[in-house]
Amino acid sequence: MVRAMFVTPPAGVPMSMLTRIEAALEHHFTLTNTHSAPPRLMAAMRHAVFPGGARIRPQLCLAVAKACGEDDAALTDAAAIAIELMHCASLVHDDMPCFDDADIRRGQVTVHKQFGEPLALLTGDALIVMAYQVLARSGRQHPARLVELLGTISDGVGAPDGIVAGQAWECETRVELSQYQRAKTGALFVAATMAGAQSAGVDPSPWRALGDTLGEAYQVADDIRDVMLQDHQLGKPAGQDATHGRPSAAADLGLKGALDYFNQLMANAVDAVPACESRAAMRHLVMKESERLVPPSACELIAQQANAAPQRVSA
């Protein structure tokens, strides 16, 4: 499993995004884990956050902030890891028995399997709140920016259109499919790009489309991988969409159709990078990310399958 987005950054793009994110997470965990904290809760919170996955969302946030002329690194770091903490919280709650009942996540035992359901529930809650504690600690230099960040990040998570609402569409009798997909994954990608701009004190609206398109592409890539890969390659249970009867691009379009759609979305994402000093570098990054999400070897395999059975491939 490739762990880092933008593994080989082009000239002019700093090497240290992943290092920055891990350092900021460690820093804020140290501040949270005082002598009065319940030790098992803190252990469960760390278990949910370390080791991380690809840290795509916080890296996206940092990359946009840099492109917008970042001038308050602590605030950018806070925005980026607040988004990552929200993502980790959603994974902990989504893995619980009343949803996916998953045993593994990021290649290790899930939080509720390791620490029990009560602590898993509280861990998700505490990580959501920790995201805001991180923001509160880092917002004194630019309080007006913090107010904007607070709105953007919260809207990416809560009702009516954030990832929690996206998950809640699975509990509705009638699902609005586009709202479901956009909210479940896209909302936090939109928050990542917009928060990157806001942490640099810049109007975030030109950055919405990039987050939106990348979020949808990421969801389609996830659907493709859920069909193609085994549990150990995925680091979580495979075949979950079919098991839970969830909407999936691979099920709707077939693998080849889903791949074509993914490639189109990534091309749209490249086009969606707004005018900025490092536009060429940003576009390059998006293209590299495309290869990480669906590697060329997988594309080849899907093409071979499509040629062998030219009718629509059922997932």
Closest to a second copy by CB, 71 or 161: 161
Among the residue ranges 102-110, 113-121, 223-231, 263-271, the one whose residues contact a second copy (CB under 8 A): 113-121
Least distance (Å) between residue 179 CB and a second copy: 6
Q: Is 101 in the site for a second copy (CB under 8 A)?
A: no
Least distance (Å) between residue 163 CB and a second copy: 9
Applying CB under 8 A, among 8, 11, 30, 39 the residue interacting with a second copy is 39
Asked if 290 and 266 count as a contact pair (C-beta separation under 8 A), the reply is yes
Q: Is 280 in the site for a second copy (CB under 8 A)?
A: no
The two three-digit tokens of residue 130, written as one number: 């920790």
Closest to a second copy by CB, 45 or 255: 45
SS3 assignment, position 137:
helix
Question: How buried is 66 (Cβ within 10 angstroms: 0-12 exposed, 13-18 middle, 19+ buried)?
Answer: buried
Applying CB under 8 A, among 71, 125, 222, 260 the residue interacting with a second copy is 125
Distances (CA, A) of 215 to 172, 209, 277, 299: 22, 10, 23, 20
Rounded to whole angstroms, how far apart are CA atoms 210 and 294?
A: 18
Q: Is 177 in the site for a second copy (CB under 8 A)?
A: no
Q: Is 45 in the site for a second copy (CB under 8 A)?
A: yes
Least distance (Å) between residue 96 CB and a second copy: 7
Q: Is 114 in the site for a second copy (CB under 8 A)?
A: no
Least distance (Å) between residue 63 CB and a second copy: 24
Among the residue ranges 8-16, 148-156, 217-225, 242-250, the one whose residues contact a second copy (CB under 8 A): 148-156
Residues 6+ apart with CB under 8 A from 106: 51, 52, 53, 235, 236
Least distance (Å) between residue 33 CB and a second copy: 7
| Of residues 177, 293, 312, 310, the one with CA closest to residue 226 | 293
| Of residues 60, 67, 25, the one with CA closest to residue 46 | 25
Tokens 């509705």 sit at which residue? 172
Dihedral of alpha carbons 37, 38, 41, 43, sign: positive
Residues 6+ apart with CB under 8 A from 159: 165, 168
Q: Is 229 in the site for a second copy (CB under 8 A)?
A: no
Least distance (Å) between residue 76 CB and a second copy: 16
Q: Is 23 in the site for a second copy (CB under 8 A)?
A: no
Q: Is 37 in the site for a second copy (CB under 8 A)?
A: yes
Rounded to whole angstroms, how far apart are CA atoms 71 and 146?
A: 14
Q: Is 192 in the site for a second copy (CB under 8 A)?
A: no
Angle (CA) 14 16 298, round 5°: 90
Least distance (Å) between residue 88 CB and a second copy: 13
Which positions touch a second copy (CB under 8 A)? 32-34, 36-42, 45, 89, 93, 96, 98-99, 115-119, 121-122, 124-126, 128-130, 132-133, 135-137, 139-140, 143-144, 146-147, 150-151, 154-155, 157-162, 164-165, 167-173, 176, 179
